[in-house]
Structure 1
Amino acid sequence: MISSYVDGNMELFPSTSVLSVPIILCTSLNSCSNLPSDAMGVFKKMKLANEKETSITLVSLLSACTSLLNARLGESIHSQILTHGIELHVGLGTALLQMYAKCAHVEKAFHIFNIMSAKNLRSWTITISALADNGHGEEAISLLSRMEKSGLRPDSLSFSAILSACGHLDLVDKGRDLFRRMTSVHDIRPSMEHYGCMVDLLGRAGKIEEAYQVIMHMPMEPNSVILRSFISACKQHERIVPHINENLKEILHRIEPDIAANYVLAANMSSNQGNWDDADGLQTCIKEKGSKKVFGCSWVQRLI
């Protein structure tokens, strides 16, 4: 669509002495920032015009590859960067490592990160998140330490990724320490996601009471994801705590009164406690309310 306007732009400026073709193409690529497939069309126009890519156009193209998860084209652009000896400055390097990270080519992303002569907060955060999200939790934690030693302060996204990685690695003590450092050292106010990571971390480790205390001391009301995560941990570790479960059921029904999965979860909890009358009542309530089902939630026992 937008790429069809490139020819028109060329006709407006027939002489490159007035305005160079790369500038015209860069302008077109920037206008395609929300339409990555069109940016690819502009790239083809660039190749037909036999114009040498600049770092500005390459950043735009890599961003389009990231949006489209097109690793093959991204690798082609990387090859051109190497062929033409284009400097991998912080903007271009970050765009390249983000493309590899989003396409789950974590080793290549990490390689780009390591060879970049200069890095910014975004470079560190993208790499830490990529490692944490793709099963390299210990490497992500190590990289966070390197980041702090470099003088940069980790941001909220970095800690979300790291805390999640701690949960998958059962690193309870490390997770606690990181959460403490996030608030006391880096002065980052915990978000819903951070609290959710801590509840998941503690729940996986069977520390039910501690996870419950995290929920109860949150400055905001927990969302349904956190509550389901906690209740799932109770079931997994066969820890039925009546007063805790009743409190959570009440909150869950209040924040999402029309979601059928919540009533199913509450009914399962009541059944596990031997409260069959309550379980039957909840099943009746589901039918009477015609409650909506959450996309991705199962009616079976196992949730999350």
Structure 2
Amino acid sequence: MPMIWRQIQILFQLSLSKISAEALHSLLLKSSLDHHEYFFSHLILSAASTSLHHARKLFDNSPIVPPPLFAWNTLIKAYSKTSSAQIHSVKLFLELLRTSDVLKPDKFTYPFVIKACGHCLMLRVGESVHSMVFKAGFASDLHVNNTLLTMYGGCGAVEFSRRLFDEMCERDVVSWSSMIAAYVDCKLDLDALRLFKYMNMVNEKPNLVTFVSLLAACNNLLNIRIGKSIHSYLLVNGTELHVSLGTALLNMYAKSGHLEEALQIFNTINKKNLQSWTVMISCLADYGRGEEAISLFTRMEEAGLRPDSMSFSVVLSACSHRGLLDKGQALFDKMVNVYNIIPTMQHYGCMVDLFGRAGKIEEAYKIILSMPFEPNSVIIRSYLSACKHHGRALSLDKHLIQLLLKTEPNVGANYLLATAISSTSGCNGMDNMRNAMKLRGLKKVPGSSWVHAPGGDLEALVKTEEIIKI
């Protein structure tokens, strides 16, 4: 028997496919070792790595009643890591609680359930699990508390995260980075930077996750100076630009208008992911380099990455900005017919804008009619502006004007656009629209730009030399 045990242990280590897991199950059944907790638990572990559905089937038909706690934890963990099945992690945990007279959750159970609560935005359930953690005597467990910090931040309850953080008798770098990330997730970017300053004061060394969160805070605050200070620290310390960190730096430079620096970072990232490529394509598109954006999109495909909905949004936007109608049309067709991506409002908007800019008003209108949902105000304005610009309002759909005014009844510019279009098409109703504007007290807001001058409120709150002292 010991020989069989050793052989099966080796097979578990080698088992990587669903077929081999099923063969192992058959072997355990024949040898009756499936009734042994160790082997059944590892059978669930092996199955969960290949097929979560198969693992659950084995679990539900367990010869051991109730199944071992290791098996429960394995499935709860697997569900918590599967975005489409995280709610099942919580449900299975509730089933475990019903066996309380036999089994009780341990310190390995709680982090997975707490993580699932955060992803599913189940704050009240997360609070209940937190109470269970306290009653079960795991209130000082570092891993459990770190997961709770993330859960509260993900649910928007950052004040609970901070209260827990302050009460923790032990913290590690994950605790600090989780708290900083919670502030960033809740748009409290200044608090994130202040906590980072405090982190330096107590000589806690930041990790890569910390820097990713800090760069996100800099993006939100549009503060390039702090971002550059972080980049300098990474260079001085010879930190490798892992894809997540490199993409965060890339995003920071791209959003702040530093295109050449963004390109340098992009070329430095060794293993680029889809997000890295998409951010760089978007950056090129935003700064009028549409042809380069399209070329980079092609390179991304050649590198073996499969574009997603967002990737096509940014490349179609590049085509729209540069008026590249044929290329935009070809990319839209490829998105639908090759990659089987269902077009969103943003995709349709790019195509309406493309046809409108090219003066192909009828084609733009056909796209609007083909949409499976009503156009939003951006698409309608784009279409109406194209009609006005090209003097092609003879067969204008009055429903679109009515829909625009219904969608945004308090935007004066919409009434002026509708008035101009109606005038071009020879329709009456201009006086009615002007009266409607007067009744609502609407005026066209003059065009304006925001300029953030040094020494303003934001500069007073966030000074690089006060925040970044690494």
TM-score bracket for the superposition, by shorter chain length? 0.7 to 0.9
CA 1:84 to 1:186, structure 2 compared with 1: closer, same or farther past 3 Å? same
Q: Residues 72-83 of structure 1 correspond to what in structure 2 (within 5 A)?
A: 72-83=225-236
Which structure 2 residue ranges, 5 or more long, are not aligned? Answer: 1-157, 448-470
TM-superposed CA distance for 1:268, in Å, is: 2.1
Quote how far apart the aligned CAs of 1:56 are: 2.4
CA contact (8 A) 2:412 2:437 kept: yes
Q: Is the 8 A contact 1:199 1:214 kept in 2?
A: yes
Q: Is the partner of 1:32 in helix, strand or coil?
A: helix
2:176 to 25, 28, 41: 25
Given that 1:227 and 1:252 are in contact with CA atoms closer than 8 Å, whether structure 2 keeps it comes out as yes
Q: How many residues align?
A: 285
Q: Do the aligned partners of 1:204 and 1:233 also contact (CA within 8 Å) in 2? A: yes
1:302 maps to what in 2?
none
Given candidates 379, 396, 401, the residue that maps to 1:244 is: 396
* Range moving further from structure 2, 222-231 or 253-262: 253-262
Q: How do 1:134-153 residues align onto structure 2 when only pairs under 5 Å count?
A: 134-153=287-306
Does the alignment pair 1:66 with 2:223? no
1:12 pairs, out of 159, 162, 169, with 169
Are the equivalent residues in 1 in contact too, given 2:391–2:424 (CA < 8 A)?
no
1:112 to 265, 275, 291: 265
Amino acid paired to 1:283: R
Superposed, which structure 2 residues align to 1:211-230 within 5 Å?
Answer: 211-230=364-383
1:16 maps to which residue?
none
CA RMSD of aligned residues (A): 2.8
Match of 2:426 among 274, 282, 285: 274
Query: Deviations 1:231-257 (Å, cap 9, x if unpaired)?
Result: 11111112232x334343344355556
Q: C-alpha separation between the residues in 2 aligned to 1:296 and 1:225? A: 17
CA positional deviation for 1:106: 2.0
**CA displacement at 1:54 relative to structure 2:** 2.2
Counterpart pick for 2:239 among 86, 90, 112: 86
2:209 corresponds in structure 1 to 56
Q: Secondary structure at the match of 1:87?
A: coil
2 CA distance for matches of 1:25 and 1:163?
40
Q: CA deviation at 1:111?
A: 1.4
Task: Report the alpha carbon displacement of residue 171 of structure 1 after superposing the two structures with TM.
Answer: 0.7
C-alpha offsets along residues 169-190 of structure 1, whole Å, 9 cap, x if unaligned?
1111011111111111111111
State which of 200, 203, 206 in structure 2 corresponds to 1:47: 200
What is the TM-score when the length of structure 1 is the normalising length?
Answer: 0.83
Comparing 44-53 with 143-152, greater Cα deviation is found at: 44-53
Contact conserved, 1:231 with 1:245, CA < 8 A, in 2?
no
1:161 CA drift (Å): 1.6
Q: Is the 8 A contact 1:245 1:269 kept in 2?
A: no
Contact 1:259/1:292 (8 A) holds in 2 = no
Residues 56 and 10 (structure 1), Cα distance of their counterparts in 2 relative to 1, 3 Å cut: farther
C-alpha distance in 2, partners of 1:145/1:48?
A: 47
User: How far apart are 1:133 and its partner, in Å?
Assistant: 1.3
2:434 match = 283
TM-score, structure 2 as length reference: 0.55
1:165 maps to a residue whose letter is A
Alignment of 1:197-212 (within 5 A): 197-212=350-365
CA distance in 2: counterparts of 1:114 and 1:155, whole angstroms: 21
Contact 1:203-1:230 within 8 A present in 2 as well = yes
Instruction: Check whether the contact 1:259–1:291 (CA below 8 A) recurs between aligned residues.
Output: no
Quote the offset at 1:23 in angstroms. Answer: 4.1
Shift of 1:286: 4.3
Partner residue of 1:128? 281
Residue 294 to residue 205, structure 1, CA distance change in 2 (3 Å): farther
Q: In 2 relative to 1, CA 104–258 (structure 1 residues): closer, same or farther, beyond 3 Å?
A: closer
For structure 1, the residue ranges without an aligned partner over 5 or more in a row are 14-18, 299-304
| Aligned partner of residue 396 in structure 2, secondary structure | helix
Asked whether the 8 Å contact 2:413–2:444 carries over to 1, the reply is: no
**Percent identity over paired residues:** 50
Matches of 2:175 and 2:216 in 1, distance apart?
Answer: 18
Q: What amino acid is the match of 1:30?
A: A
User: Structure 2 CA distance, aligned partners of 1:12 and 1:194?
Assistant: 51
Structure number with higher relative contact order (C-alpha < 8 Å, ≥ 6 residues apart): 1
Which protein shows a greater Rg?
2
Distance 2:342 2:353 in 1: 19
SS in 2 for 1:240: coil
How far off its partner does 1:211 sit? 0.9
Contact preservation (8 Å) 2:410, 2:440: yes
Return the offset for 1:11.
9.1
**Counterparts of 1:188 and 1:95 in 2: how far apart (Å)?**
26
